[in-house]
Amino acid sequence: MSNISSIKDRGIYTDLIRELHRRGNEVTVLTPIERKYGQKTRLTIDNGVNLIKVRTGNLFNVGIVEKLFSRAGLCFRYTKAIRKICNNTHFDLVLFTTPPTTLVPIVKKYKEAGAYIYLMLKDIFPQNAADLGMMKQNGLAFRFFRKGEREMYKVSDTIGCMSPANMEFIRKQDPWIDPYKIVLCPNSIEVEEKHISGSKTILERYDVPTNRLILLYGGGLGKPQGIDFLMNAIRSCQTDKDVFFLIVGSGVYFGRLKSLEQECKGSVKVIDWLPVEEYEQVVRSSDAGLVFLNHAFSIPNFPSRILNYMQEGLPIIAATDPNTDVGRIAQENGFGIWCESNDVEGFKNAVIAIKDKKAREEMGNKAFVYLKEHYSVRIVVDDILNKVKK
């Protein structure tokens, strides 16, 4: 679902693609380019990787009805692109992700031709949409996508889950799945050596004070992130002149957060998406990373933005639903603090705790070490290829 502009870009998918290719594999990638950009389906060779940009419907920053129809049409669009560009190519391994859950006919075709099918489960759909009220539980749309989800699990040789809580949820939701198929496949990145703390110049560029504790949230600004709680959390801390909230992202709640910036002037800065290099500088210049998830979720999520924080040695404050284990993993391994995303007082206490410089440095160091030992793309690719070889 990611619109990949260059294989050189950093991210959980591009890092994975580069690592697979670095090991001598021939890699072909299908990636959507939304209709609103007015471009046609095409093949490019990007740093030795076959990159097929597939013209699709609009998938992001659109209404829920258009989004669902665009997702439902992805299989047709991808199939058409495959027939046109690589119909006679044999693939040994097919890696695909959720969302979407509608690509089963494509992977079935390759399974019948002898490919190993590896699902990287990045979202549990349609249950996530039902949790947020985007579709009715057990309604017509839910049943349609749930049927596709079951077919997806059936056709997959391996189901790679982002965290132990993810694995347990799938086991309980679909106990008929062979437990051997369900494995841990966390979000991962190409880990670089820990950088020295960044220059504060990048913060000055965006009128962010450099003499206060910078709490950074970078990511989507929509219903899944529980932005109402984020706003309440910022309001609860606005009298604390030692801390400053920096929000970087986009989504349907962006306008409301800009209004909050005026309401809590001097406590928060909200800016739109930044180029990757600039955003990495911002992370490097911040003091702690924030993760927010809607408390209504019954499914365990694991936001990939935490990896950027860990790469730069930032401690984590995670405010999530009780089913998600990202905060508990951070807390139990000493690199973060967790509270539920309906507990404003718990969030305030986490902010107070993170103000201790020594504790913050210890957590940041542990975050980087944990990243190297558990979320390195090299480890994940080792696991994937070993599974296929077995």
What CATH number does residue 108 fall under?
A: 3.40.50.2000
Residues 6+ apart with CB under 8 A from 95: 16, 118, 120, 384
Q: Are residues 58 and 89 in the same domain?
A: yes
| Residues 170 and 158: beta-carbon distance below 8 Å | no
Q: Looking at the domain assignment, is residue 196 inside a domain?
A: no
Same domain, 383 and 363: no
pLDDT computed for residue 198 by the predictor = 60
- Evaluate whether residue 293 is within a structural domain: yes
**6 located within any domain:** no
What's at 83, amino acid-wise? R
Do 238 and 129 fall into the same domain?
no
What pLDDT does residue 195 have?
A: 66
Q: Are residues 205 and 284 in the same domain?
A: yes
Residues 294 and 207 in one domain: yes
In this prediction, residue 243 carries a pLDDT of 95
Q: What are phi and psi of 327, to 5 degrees?
A: -70, -40
Let me know whether 156 and 303 are in one domain. Answer: no
CA distance 277 to 388: 35
Domain match, 341 and 385 both:
no
Q: How far apart are CA 293 and CA 342, in angstroms?
A: 10
Cα–Cα distance for residue pair 338/366, rounded to 1 Å? 16
User: Residue 3 falls within a domain, yes or no?
Assistant: no
Whether residue 244 is found in the same domain as residue 332: yes
- 309 and 181 fall within a common domain: no
pLDDT of residue 297: 95
Q: Are residues 243 and 322 in the same domain?
A: yes
Distance CA 9, CA 298 (A): 33
Provide the edge-to-edge strand list for the sheet that holds 28-34.
28-34, 49-56, 42-46
How big, in percent rounded to 5, are the helix, strand and coil portions of the chain?
Answer: 45, 20, 35
Say if 251 falls within a structural domain: yes
Reading the chain (390 residues) residue by residue, the pLDDT tens digits are 888 889 999 999 999 999 999 999 999 999 999 888 889 999 999 999 999 999 988 787 777 788 778 877 888 899 999 999 988 899 999 999 987 777 899 999 999 999 999 999 999 988 998 999 988 998 998 898 899 899 999 999 999 999 999 999 999 999 999 999 999 999 999 999 866 666 678 888 888 999 999 999 999 998 999 999 999 999 999 888 899 999 999 888 999 999 999 999 889 999 988 888 889 999 999 999 999 999 999 999 999 999 999 999 999 999 999 999 999 999 999 999 999 999 999 999 999 999 999 999 999 999 999 999 999 999 999 999 999 888
Residue 7: inside a domain? no
- pLDDT confidence of residue 266: 87
DSSP designation for 177: S
State the residue range of the domain holding 361: 201-374
Q: Do 77 and 123 have their domain in common?
A: yes
Overall number of domains in the chain:
2
Residue 381 resides in a domain: yes
**At 122, is the secondary structure helix, strand, or coil?**
coil
Q: In whole angstroms, what is the distance from residue 295 CA to residue 254 CA?
A: 19
Q: Are residues 206 and 177 in the same domain?
A: no
pLDDT at 68: 75
The HSE-up count of residue 90 (CA atoms within 13 Å, CB side) is: 5
